[in-house]
Structure 1
Amino acid sequence: MGQLIEWQEVITEGESLEECRAMLQDATKEMILAYRQENKEIPIDDSLLEQILIEV
């Protein structure tokens, strides 16, 4: 499961980490387009946080 920190309503999941990352990239592109259409400021952060669930 993956979630965008800047847009916490964007949550996706994939069968693999790579698939989840790709789906988040697509969701990010869509959010940027939507923000531009609505003339909203696009949140930009220089930090990157990636949480990965480790099953024990």
Structure 2
Amino acid sequence: MKVKVFDESHEKDLEASVNQFLSEMSGEVIDIKYQVAIGISGEDQIFCFSAFIIYQ
């Protein structure tokens, strides 16, 4: 069993990274976990979109 972690600041970048990985991998996906975190810095909002893929 293996894992791959993705972390991007924009959801479209995460989508592209995950889709590229899935198209190139030769194993079987067991599960995908997804999470969004938001931080505040002054008047800025900082987003963190992440995915955790478990595969064989």
The TM-score with structure 1 as length reference comes to 0.49
- Indicate the structure whose relative CO is greater, using CA pairs within 8 Å and at least 6 residues apart: 2
Q: Higher Cα Rg: structure 1 or 2?
A: 2
- Greater strand fraction, Structure 1 or Structure 2: 2
Name the structure with the higher helix share: 1
Q: What is the TM-score with the length of structure 2 in the denominator? A: 0.49
